[in-house]
């Protein structure tokens, strides 16, 4: 069985990487299908990027959209596990 602190650190790092990779994959798919050049770094207008993403989210596979929605909650659960272990131990 994993130690709670190690498991919390693992969850936080793993799901942070998953979040980055799924966002990068989503933008790569949109760039290929729309012929645009949207980057992960928000140097462009954020509102325009959000509009393009929202209007064309059907082009992105469902598993990527689900992971994009769940990743922040899973990252916070890892951080919460670390916090509660350190606070109550």
Encode pLDDT of 59-71 as tens digits: 888 888 888 888 8
**Model pTM?**
0.69
Mean pLDDT of 9-23: 86
Exposed, middle or buried: residue 58 (CB in 10 Å: 0-12, 13-18, 19+)? exposed
Residue 8 to residue 5: CA distance in whole angstroms: 5
Question: What is the rounded CA–CA span in Å between residue 68 and residue 57?
Answer: 12
Q: What are the backbone dihedrals phi and psi of residue 39, each rounded to the nearest 5 degrees, phi first?
A: -115, 160
Cα separation, 42 vs 36, whole angstroms: 14
């Amino acid at each position: 069985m994993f130690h709670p602190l190690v498991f919390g650190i693992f969850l936080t790092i793993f799901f942070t990487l998953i979040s980055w990779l799924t966002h990068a994959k989503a933008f790569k798919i949109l760039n290929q299908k729309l012929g645009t050049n949207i980057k992960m770094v928000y140097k462009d207008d954020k509102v325009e990027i959000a509009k393009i993403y929202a209007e064309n989210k059907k082009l992105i596979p469902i598993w990527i959209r689900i992971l994009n929605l769940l990743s922040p909650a899973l990252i916070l659960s890892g951080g919460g596990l670390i916090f509660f272990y350190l606070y109550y131990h």
